C-alpha cells in the first residue's frame, strides 16, 4: 500500500509540474506576442511594408522595410534551396546506400548532430573566414553561404527521422520487385512527401529569423538587392538597428518590423502544422 501511495503521490506531483510548465510556456508566448502587438501595431502601416527606407528613416523620417522583407525572403529562399539540394541526397544515401548501423552512417549522424547544435554566430565566423579567403565581400551571397551551412543540419536531421519512420517492409517489397536503390529512394520520398515539405519549411523559418549568422556576412543596404554580390538587409538586422536608436518613433517601427517577421513565422508554422497533419493521414 505504501508503494502504491508513493507512486500516486509522484504521479500527482508530476502532473502539477507539467501543468505549471505548460502555463509558463503559454504565458511567455502570449506575453511576447502581446508586447509586439501593443508596441508595434500602432506603427504598422502600408508604408512600412510597401516602401524601402528613405533618407533619415533611421532618424524617424519616411520609408518602410520593404528592402528587409525582400532581402529576408531572398536569403531564406536561396539558403533553404541549397540546404535541400545538399541535405536530401545525404539522407537518401544514409538510408539506401549504407547500412543504418555501419560506422559511416553513425559517424555522419553524429557529425550532423554536432552541427545542429553549433550556434549561428559560429557559422557566421566560419563563413566570414571563407569569404575573406575567396575575396567575397559582405553581400547576399555571403549570407546565403552562412545560412546554408546553418540549415543543412536541420534538413538532414529532420529527414533522417522521417525516413527512419518508414516501415522496413516498404524497402523489402521494393527490392523484391526488382527496383533499383534509386527507384526505392524515389518511392521513399513519395511516402514522406508531406513531411519533406515540413522539413523544408522548418529550415526556411530558421533561416528567415536568424540575425547572428548574417551580421558578419550579409552587410546592410537600404536598397533591394538585384545581384548576389550586393549587400542585403534582413528583417532581424533591421529590427536590431532600429532598436539601437534612441528615437521612440524608430523603436516603435522596430516592433512593427518584429510584428511583420512574427506574421511570416506564423504562416510558416501553420503550413508546417497542416503538412504534419497530412503526413499522419498519408498513405502510399
Percent of the chain with pLDDT over 90: 5
- Binned at pLDDT 50, 70 and 90, residue 284 comes out as very low
pLDDT of amino acid 79: 92
pLDDT of amino acid 15: 85
Q: What is the DSSP string of the chain?
A: -HHHHHHHHHHHHHHHHHHHHHHHHHHHHHHHHHHHHHHHGGG--HHHHH----TTGGGT-S--SHHHHHHHHHHHHHHHHHHHHHHHHHHHHHHHTS-TTSHHHHHHHHHHHHHHHS-HHHHHHHHHHHHHHHTPPSSHHHHHHHHHHHHHHHHHHHHHHHHHTS-HHHHHHHHHTT--HHHHHHHHHHHTHHHHHHHHHHHHHHHHT--TTTTTTT---SSPP-STTS----HHHHHHHHHT-S-HHHHHHHHHHHHHHHHHHHHHHHHHHHHHHHHHH---
pLDDT in tens, 11-34: 888 888 898 988 998 888 888 888
- Please tell me the number of Cα atoms within 13 Å of 229 on its side-chain side: 4
The predicted model gives 175-188 an average pLDDT of 74
- Binned at pLDDT 50, 70 and 90, residue 109 comes out as confident
| Residue with grid cell 504521479, as numbered in its chain | 11
pLDDT of amino acid 24: 92
pLDDT in tens, 113-135: 888 888 888 888 888 888 888 88
Q: What's the mean per-residue pLDDT of the chain?
A: 82
pLDDT of amino acid 224: 85
pLDDT of amino acid 48: 82
Does residue 190 carry a pLDDT above 50? yes
The predicted model gives 102-123 an average pLDDT of 84
Does residue 8 carry a pLDDT above 80? no
What span, in angstroms and rounded, lies between the C-alpha atoms of 104 and 100?
A: 9
* Number of Cβ within a 10 Å radius of residue 147: 32
Does residue 194 carry a pLDDT above 50? yes
Beta carbons of 234 and 75 less than 8 angstroms apart: yes
The predicted model gives 44-48 an average pLDDT of 83
Burial of 11 from C-beta contacts in 10 A (0-12 / 13-18 / 19+): exposed
State the pTM of this model: 0.82
The predicted model gives 38-48 an average pLDDT of 84
CA angle 99, 105, 106 (to 5 degrees): 120
* Number of Cβ within a 10 Å radius of residue 146: 31
**Higher per-residue confidence, 175 vs 46:** 46
Does residue 85 carry a pLDDT above 80? yes
pLDDT in tens, 250-271: 888 888 888 888 888 888 878 7
What span, in angstroms and rounded, lies between the C-alpha atoms of 281 and 263?
A: 27
pLDDT of amino acid 35: 86
Amino acid at each position: 500500500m505504501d508503494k502504491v501511495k508513493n507512486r500516486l503521490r509522484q504521479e500527482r506531483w508530476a502532473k502539477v509540474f507539467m501543468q505549471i510548465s505548460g502555463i509558463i510556456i503559454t504565458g511567455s508566448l502570449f506575453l511576447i506576442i502581446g508586447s509586439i502587438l501593443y508596441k508595434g501595431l500602432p506603427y504598422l502601416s502600408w508604408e512600412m511594408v510597401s516602401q524601402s527606407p528613405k533618407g533619415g528613416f533611421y532618424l524617424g523620417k519616411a520609408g518602410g522595410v520593404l528592402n528587409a522583407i525582400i532581402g529576408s525572403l531572398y536569403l531564406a529562399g536561396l539558403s533553404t534551396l541549397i540546404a535541400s539540394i545538399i541535405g536530401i541526397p545525404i539522407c537518401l544515401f544514409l538510408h539506401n546506400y549504407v547500412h543504418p548501423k555501419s560506422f559511416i552512417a553513425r559517424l555522419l549522424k553524429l557529425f550532423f548532430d554536432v552541427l545542429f547544435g553549433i550556434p549561428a554566430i559560429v557559422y557566421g565566423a566560419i563563413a566570414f573566414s571563407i569569404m575573406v579567403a575567396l575575396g567575397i565581400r559582405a553581400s547576399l551571397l555571403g549570407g546565403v553561404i552562412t545560412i546554408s551551412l546553418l540549415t543543412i543540419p536541420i534538413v538532414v536531421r529532420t529527414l533522417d527521422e522521417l525516413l527512419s519512420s518508414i516501415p522496413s517492409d516498404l524497402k523489402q517489397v521494393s527490392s523484391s520487385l526488382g527496383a533499383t536503390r534509386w527507384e526505392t529512394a524515389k518511392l521513399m520520398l513519395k511516402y514522406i512527401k508531406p513531411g519533406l515539405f515540413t522539413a523544408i519549411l522548418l529550415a526556411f523559418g530558421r533561416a528567415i529569423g536568424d540575425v547572428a549568422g548574417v551580421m558578419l556576412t550579409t552587410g546592410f543596404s537600404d536598397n533591394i538587392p538585384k545581384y548576389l554580390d550586393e549587400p542585403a538587409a534582413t528583417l532581424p538586422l533591421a529590427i536590431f538597428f532600429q532598436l539601437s536608436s534612441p528615437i521612440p518613433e524608430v523603436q516603435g517601427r522596430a516592433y512593427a518590423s518584429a510584428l511583420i517577421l512574427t506574421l511570416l513565422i506564423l504562416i510558416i508554422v501553420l503550413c508546417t502544422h497542416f503538412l504534419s497533419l497530412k503526413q499522419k493521414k498519408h498513405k502510399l
